[in-house]
Structure 1
Amino acid sequence: MSTLLNTAVTTQEVEAWLSSEMTPGNTRWFEGPAEPAYALSLQPKLALTAPSVSDLTTILVTPAHKYQQMLGIGTSVEETTINNLLKMDPAARASFIQQLADKENGLGFNLFRITIGTSDFTAQPFYTYNDLPEGETDFELKHFSIQKDIDLSIVETVQALLKAVPDAKIFASPWSPPAWMKTNGDLKRGSLKEGAAYTEALAKYYRLAIQAYEEHGIPVCAMTLQNEPLLETDYPSCYMSPERQRELAIALKREFEEHGLTTELWIFDHNFADAMGYVTPILNDPEGYEAVDGIALHDYDGSPNVMSEIHAAYPDKPIYLTERSLWGTAGADRMAQYFRNYACSYNAWVTMLDSKISTHQWLGQPGPTMFVQDAAEPNRFWRTPEFNLLAQYSRFVKRGAYRIGSTCGSPDTVTNVAFRNPDGTIVMVVINQTNEEQPFRVLCEGKQFIASLPAGTVGTYRWQ
């Protein structure tokens, strides 16, 4: 009997795909494509066998230890990317969208971030949906309109994405309230004017934005209340204290409920370093806690470990990584850290710049995006290695998957994160940041497999 069981075990197999880093984050990717050693390369299947004695680096996977549930992995649909897309002919545009959407040959993205009005990544003069001549106000929002989003093909592009990915989720983030609502009368810098009248006007403004998108067949599953509320800078931005954000969340939740909207509210939408200090005044207040559905975070300052701290403090409030772009195996490991610290999602920021690193109004020089467009020949665009490294997660980790237990490993050998998909398959992303090939074994529920990851490479392993 035991012989038969062992034979059955050895016939089970593990699928494996590899992608390599190549000059990660380097501006050379704006000059043209190049082929890394591995690019979502399917490997020979590995045998799942009975356990054996081994001196190899060993990762223990425990599916019984179930953590957060995944909402999705995706990118941003900001106006910079859309502006570059519009320079293409319809066939090239369709190919680009297919590469975002395709679950077999593309990225398989299912979560997209849109902006309410303009962000810093735009080719346009900054605008909101309620811009007025200086000195005028519009508390009834009679002049509200998303017509600019229609004219700039933002609405059309998001509609095309939803057609390509019918199960996609869309969430939205504002960079600034309309200027007439702000202390300095400008989309740059400043803060929301004091008083309930302005809080309620802004809540109504956001409610109208969500309704306008829904009228165009674009349901918005969630919105953040202010992109980077602790930043005032020379592009659309708005300082918003946690106390003020709590007031806005309560007013906006009331607006949504009165108009039958189920859009969730995610607070903060800024860096790890300031997260705990910002969310506690909101979530320790009973009304604030009730109004909030989740917590959004960026990774430009601080440690992902704060997400575990927030999860321990507020276990019923899901955490979302709403903005960061990452490069190379260090980036793939950082992404694993997000998920190991309770992030339910990941969204890259900016999907396609052109070979002139344009067009945007950010105040620095961006690193390479997952796609780069040839500025001289707009129908031509290429993938950077980040496309492959992102797809090592996004193609395989399905919505509704749970992160499961796994020992984390070490940057000196391999690190990892593991998930169980709704269909029961286990997916494990393993990262080798070293300059040497790293052999390792995985022990899971009475079985093992042995694999080896080349230097500077990420592997995704999937088994039943």
Structure 2
Amino acid sequence: MASRIGTSEKVEVWLSSESMPGDKKWFQDPAELTHQLSRQPDIQWTAPEATSRSTIIISPDHTYQEILGIGTSVEETTVHNLSKMSSSVRTSILRQLTDKGDQGIGFNFFRITLGTSDFTAQSFYTYNDIADGETDFELKQFSIQKDIDLSIINTIQELLAAAPDTLLFASPWSPPAWMKTNGSLKRGQLKEGIEYTEALAKYYRLAIQAYLEQGIPIYAMTLQNEPLLETDYPSCYMSPERQKELALALKKEFTEHGLETEIWIFDQNFSDVRAYVTPILDDIDGFAAVDGIALHDYEGEPELMSEIHASYPDKPIYLTERSVWGTQGADRIALYFRNYASSYNAWVTMLDSRIGTHQWLGTPGPTMFIQDATEADRYWLTPEYYLLGQFTRFVRRGAVRIESTYGSTDTVTNVVFRNLDGSVIAVVINQTESEQEFRVLCEGNQFTAVLPAKTVGTYCWRTT
């Protein structure tokens, strides 16, 4: 039965505004914001009328992909900064991330790393680091003890306690060095031979089991972060053919040990997705082993996700890494979802005011949380916390994207969802320098609104 807007239903409105998007000044001090998830007066539905205003047409019964979750990362840089804080402040931050009410923004999906990534305050490590020249095919020296010692396990346990419905996915940056052609966590490839593929599959299975023993279930994992990248931090080139071989071996490991963790392939940019996933998914066994496709947004355009969805509609697409800033960034997130992403995860949650501590080769932009490097319990929020909250506080797991006309970057753009409870969530973005008046047409009704310059608005109503 078609959904309909109730005759007495009103539209609830929240606004967040950008300020100095991506500017390094945010590492120095907080600044005042015009709107930060600020509730506005409700808007009344009216009968449609002729108008020259920009118009968003919404068709709630035309649905697209289901949303798994939206969130950020719990990489070691963030954990390191959290570990310097008092327990009460750390708990407060976790609540601000996950609370679905006024105390937070409702993140429900987090990325963790298996071993260190480039965003870490530590020496690079994996769970099976042994002396040069040695091998350990039976993985007798496997251990996640460093994750315990560095408070990674404890932090994730606290996160799950704060929000039990949270899901986690994991990504490795490098196999153990003894498995690689150059004997290093930096650069290199997985050594040739099925014995190395099977050893790496067993290594990943042991990692998933070790986390489960700590009360931390891993919903999914990618097989290799950015498999086309070799660089001077943990990385590993992995061809599509080798990744297919690894997916098959890992699926066998998971099946034999009763693990339900999903396997997501690729985990890199739009520009290379077609060439990478086709050799895997066009193979019958490869297709069966793979549960989803992971993507980053550093090269290429989101429209490539729609092409992949058209080719492989049964394989969900996940936007597993990108941090964006300002209303332009909010529009980019809208485009992810308009092109079939079932999730979005920001990368790196908290750096300190010295832009630390990390080992990436560039200079990062501001994170959602900035910690005072001289006073660990002092921190501030950047606008991106609230701008992403315009999505995450309102869009629940199990929501579906529904049809809406996109609009224009010269006026307003949008993406619209319907939650399982029937509520409709329209995220509308004004990237322009002036306020924009627009209207929404939906199910024979309309409302009109004015969205301030450089502001994101979330408009919520229920259907019957």
TM-score by length of 2: 0.98
Equivalent AA in structure 2 for residue 422 of structure 1 = L
- Match for residue 453 of structure 2? 455
- Match for residue 61 of structure 2? 64
Equivalent AA in structure 2 for residue 324 of structure 1 = R
Structure 1 position 402, deviation (Å): 0.2
CA deviations 1:404-430 (Å, max 9, x no partner) are 000000000000000000100000000
Matched, 1:32 2:29: yes
In the aligned structure 2, how far is the partner of 1:250 from the partner of 1:193? Answer: 17
In the aligned structure 1, how far is the partner of 2:105 from the partner of 2:421? Answer: 20
Structure 1 position 52, deviation (Å): 1.5
Structure 1 position 49, deviation (Å): 1.6
Equivalent AA in structure 2 for residue 90 of structure 1 = S
8 Å Cα contact 1:115/1:175 also seen in 2: yes
SS at match of 1:98: helix
In the aligned structure 2, how far is the partner of 1:393 from the partner of 1:64? Answer: 21
Q: What are the within-5 Å matches in structure 2 for residues 24-423 of structure 1?
A: 24-104=21-101, 105-423=103-421
SS at match of 1:44: strand
In the aligned structure 1, how far is the partner of 2:158 from the partner of 2:131? Answer: 34
In the aligned structure 2, how far is the partner of 1:217 from the partner of 1:45? Answer: 43
In the aligned structure 1, how far is the partner of 2:366 from the partner of 2:263? Answer: 31
In the aligned structure 1, how far is the partner of 2:184 from the partner of 2:28? Answer: 37
Structure 1 position 337, deviation (Å): 0.2
In the aligned structure 2, how far is the partner of 1:426 from the partner of 1:54? Answer: 24
In the aligned structure 1, how far is the partner of 2:45 from the partner of 2:158? Answer: 42
Structure 1 position 276, deviation (Å): 0.6
- Match for residue 438 of structure 2? 440
Structure 1 position 12, deviation (Å): 2.3
Structure 1 position 48, deviation (Å): 1.1
8 Å Cα contact 1:136/1:180 also seen in 2: yes
SS at match of 1:391: helix
Structure 1 position 50, deviation (Å): 1.7
Shifted more, 302-311 versus 97-106: the winner is 97-106
In the aligned structure 2, how far is the partner of 1:16 from the partner of 1:211? Answer: 44
8 Å Cα contact 1:97/1:164 also seen in 2: yes
In the aligned structure 2, how far is the partner of 1:85 from the partner of 1:420? Answer: 35
In the aligned structure 2, how far is the partner of 1:275 from the partner of 1:37? Answer: 39
Matched, 1:426 2:428: no
In the aligned structure 2, how far is the partner of 1:328 from the partner of 1:245? Answer: 36
In the aligned structure 1, how far is the partner of 2:333 from the partner of 2:98? Answer: 20
SS at match of 1:45: strand
In the aligned structure 2, how far is the partner of 1:239 from the partner of 1:392? Answer: 37
In the aligned structure 2, how far is the partner of 1:238 from the partner of 1:435? Answer: 44
In the aligned structure 2, how far is the partner of 1:118 from the partner of 1:345? Answer: 23
SS at match of 1:108: coil
In the aligned structure 1, how far is the partner of 2:438 from the partner of 2:217? Answer: 44
In the aligned structure 1, how far is the partner of 2:9 from the partner of 2:181? Answer: 65
8 Å Cα contact 1:12/1:49 also seen in 2: no
In the aligned structure 1, how far is the partner of 2:86 from the partner of 2:61? Answer: 50
CA deviations 1:387-408 (Å, max 9, x no partner) are 0000000000000000000000
In the aligned structure 2, how far is the partner of 1:283 from the partner of 1:339? Answer: 22
Consecutive unaligned residues of structure 2, counting only runs of 5 or more, are none
Equivalent AA in structure 2 for residue 25 of structure 1 = G
In the aligned structure 2, how far is the partner of 1:165 from the partner of 1:449? Answer: 35
Shifted more, 50-59 versus 74-83: the winner is 50-59
Structure 1 position 224, deviation (Å): 0.1
CA deviations 1:255-298 (Å, max 9, x no partner) are 00000000000000000010111000000000000000000000
Consecutive unaligned residues of structure 1, counting only runs of 5 or more, are none
Percent identity over the alignment is: 70
What is the aligned residue count?
458
